[in-house]
Amino acid sequence: MIRPRITQIETPHGSFSTPIFMPVGTVGSVKAVSSDELEFLGAEIILGNTYHLMLRPGHELIRNLGGLHKFISWERPILTDSGGYQVFSLSKIRKLKEDGVEFQSHIDGERHFLTPEKAIEIQRALGSDIMMVLDECPPYPVSESEARRSMEVTLSWAKRSVLLGSAGDDPLLFAIIQGSTYKSLRKECLERLLEIGNFNGFAIGGLSVGEPKELLCEMAKETAALIPEEYPRYAMGIGLPEDLVEMIGYGIDMFDCVVPTRNGRNGQLFTSSGDVQIRQTRYKDDPRPIDENCSCPVCKRYSRAYLRHLHLAKEILSARLNTIHNLYYYLSLIREIREAIRKGNYEEYRRNFYHKRSRAGE
């Protein structure tokens, strides 16, 4: 059924409510902010990445130091991406094989071979709370025959991953639904994943790779509707504010995206009335906070004029303050949507969200 919902997910490092947004800490760090700042901002779960952490500093080192939670001083849940998207983005320096993927490190050029079993082994070494199966993410556009080939690889790897999957207090294991922009393939992929069984949740993969926004939303909505209600639904790598508002309405529970941190470092700030490009001349002598309706530490203390100055001066503080504000905005947005769902007025919240953002630039 297509509807917004609130669920509870239990993990070895505690539970969290959905809908949820997971800040991206690819290499064990959400860029520009510390773990205590993430706790203060209200982050309930963060994301790490198998590919990056296996290369640097190495999953065995992290295991020997007590696991990723201890290594980065974060006691709340961590989801680890298997590295499938990085395999996709490294198309020029990787070679897909039936058993896995061979690739060159982007750091030193050393060759590595990542298999579905290795991806699970690494995530176990890291101490992940939610592990993702290794998948192949096809580009856009792609032919239906190529999308099917890619889907078959993903299904084969998912089946192999289950053999090392979760039980008891072990981490949760999520499968990934592929099929590009072909509805029939996505439906088949999910059906066959359900037949494999032993998954704790399902992610919608292969989106936000260059397809038009209308098609992205259509595929997310169609796929989410197919996932049985008892499973968490996770839209991977999708996370503009309007994406969250829309896709929560499709019954999607979990989101991650680098947008609030990456765009913050590049001077884009998110507000209740639209986006602010802080480099613009209009903010040169603007004494207002980024968002007069925001109670984050940055909006309580600093002006748009000062933040513009820091950005143009390329001060490190610019990245920190912009990131803190953007993460606060995202995490507050999620909390507001949860409350709207609890009260039964999600549709009203959605309409008001778009009305407010139409005032961008004021």
275 is catalytic: no
Q: Which of 253, 256, 286, 291 is catalytic?
A: 256
CB burial readout 17-52, b (16+ within 10 A) else e: ebbbbbbbbbbbebbbbebebbeebebbbbbbbbbb
CA atoms within 13 A on the CB side of 18: 23
Cα dihedral 227, 101, 85, 133 sign: positive
226/220 Cα distance (integer angstroms): 10
User: Any residues with CB less than 8 A from the CB of 318 and at least 6 apart, and which?
Assistant: 265, 267, 307, 310, 311
Q: Which of 81, 129, 243, 291 is catalytic?
A: 81
256 is catalytic: yes
* Active centre residues (catalytic): 81, 256
